[in-house]
Amino acid sequence: MIRLRPTIALPLACVACAPTPQLAIAPNILSQEWQQAPPPLAGEAADSWEDFASPELATLVAQARDRNVDIAIARARIVQARGELRLARAAALPMLSASAAGLTGERSGGGTAGPLNDILSVGPEISWEADLFGGAAAGRKAARARLAAAVFDRDAIALLVEAEVARAFFDHAALGDRIALVDRSLDNARELERIILVRVREGAATQVDAGRQSVEVRRIEAQRSELVEARRHTANALAALTGEEAPRFAAPRAALGDLVLPSFAPGQPSDLLLRRPDVRAAEARIAAAEGNVSQARAAFLPRLTLSGSSMIEAAAGPVQLVTTLGANLLAPIFDGGRNKGRLLVAEGAQHEAVETYRGTLLTALRDAEDALAASEEAERRRQLLAATLEEARRTASLARRQFVEGAADLQTVLDAERSLLDVEQEHALAVRDRLAAIVTLVTAMGGWPV
């Protein structure tokens, strides 16, 4: 009968005592198609920001990619994750160090006279812990997954920043168009004010008519001031997004009419698993959490440490080489529940990572459905307002002509002019919303196809 020594049998018995954690399972996407039908494609599907036919937009997006603060912070986190991975890899390698010691011994012959025996010991020391149960490998797996998550986080932040640049650019262009519309309306209102004053002098109009038109001119001027302020705020937002100082930033000039509305193929719901960087990051964090669980479980199991050292001793006599080798097999016996607590923390973090992943999936699907609906409805509004705009222009022109000829009163003209300006403003906003809807769709689907 073979008997194990207690120093060996006790650590090996700990293998059977290590608890088995209950890990959560990551869900999958069950939806096969979109509830909201994708809008029909007008041409070849776009694949970059350049497909909006605006070199200024492409330049701003490239500048934001290089200089945006949030993207730079995400890059720094990747560097930190690489350092953590290097530390995890180093944990599996032997540790080599050098030592030196100097001793002063007794005098030769044991007397009070003669030189002292000086002893110098120098040599390397090496130690290595064998990864018997995969604890170090689990640490490396967790570190690699955290590095992957950091890379996906950077991609997700970059996509959001690029989308914000595009939206701010479209806002800036729309505000420029709206200011131009207000300027034209203001010129018409001032011309009408001049006509009314002439008619007042001729007795064909009253001071009430002149006062009402003067109020209308001031109202349009106030509206223009609001639009100018909003455009300045949008330019400042572009400066911050592209890493520029607002006082030094000059927003590029752009008009909505110069932009092209690109088509975009949304793909299928399951494509989000591979295309959305935030989903990929959440998935990587599940792998990191599972590595932490395995590492925490390995703490219950024995650890084998091998060590060795070689010392060269030089004294008054000949040089001596002394080499020692050793091995220690250690296992925890009583730790006050520390290992159990660490395992529970790691197990709970894995469950949390799975639920976070599930929440990210649900958010991604919701974002995609919202973006598809926004794209379709924004196009419907743009078409309706484009048809309404032509009618509003004809009505305003007819009302002005009739007023000059004396066939219509001032209120009719004011109502027609206000209606035209309102429709023109709404049409500009609809065009902007249609462009922004494409940006939202690109973001919801995880970026441009590659």
C-alpha distance from residue 94 to each of 127, 133, 183, 398 (Å): 6, 17, 76, 91
C-alpha 138/C-alpha 146 separation (Å) is 12
Q: pLDDT truncated to tens, each residue of the chain (450 aa)? A: 344 444 545 455 555 566 888 899 999 888 888 887 766 655 567 788 999 999 999 999 999 999 999 999 999 999 999 999 998 888 777 776 666 665 555 554 555 555 545 555 666 777 777 777 788 888 999 999 999 999 999 999 999 999 999 999 999 999 999 999 999 989 988 988 898 898 898 888 889 989 988 998 999 999 999 999 999 999 999 999 999 999 999 999 889 999 998 888 888 999 999 999 999 999 999 999 999 998 888 888 777 777 666 566 555 556 555 566 566 656 566 666 788 888 999 999 999 999 999 999 999 999 999 999 998 899 899 999 999 998 999 998 898 888 877 777 878 888 888 888 889 999 999 999 999 999 999 999 999 987
pLDDT value for 234: 96
Which domains does the chain carry? 27-93+131-301+340-444 (1.20.1600.10)
Give 262's contacts (C-beta < 8 A, 6+ positions apart).
46, 51, 52, 438
Task: Tell me the one-letter amino acid at 195.
Answer: I
Give 165's contacts (C-beta < 8 A, 6+ positions apart).
57, 60, 61, 64, 238, 241, 242
pLDDT value for 253: 87
The pTM (predicted TM-score) of the whole model is: 0.83
Question: Which segments of 55-134 does DSSP mark as H helices, in order?
Answer: 55-67, 69-90
From the list 442, 26, 421, the residue with the least C-alpha distance to 223 is 421
253 three-class SS: coil
C-alpha 401/C-alpha 417 separation (Å) is 12
Task: Tell me the one-letter amino acid at 447.
Answer: G
Length of the chain: 450
CA 372 to chain centroid: 21
CA 347 to chain centroid: 27
Q: Which residues pair with 130 in a beta bridge?
A: 304
Task: Tell me the one-letter amino acid at 336.
Answer: G
Burial letters 401-437, b for 16+ CB under 10 A, else e = eebeeeebebebbbebbbbbbebbbbbbbbbbbbbbb
pLDDT value for 217: 93
Pairing status of strand 116-130 against strand 95-107: antiparallel
C-alpha distance from residue 241 to each of 28, 54, 153, 268 (Å): 35, 18, 17, 31
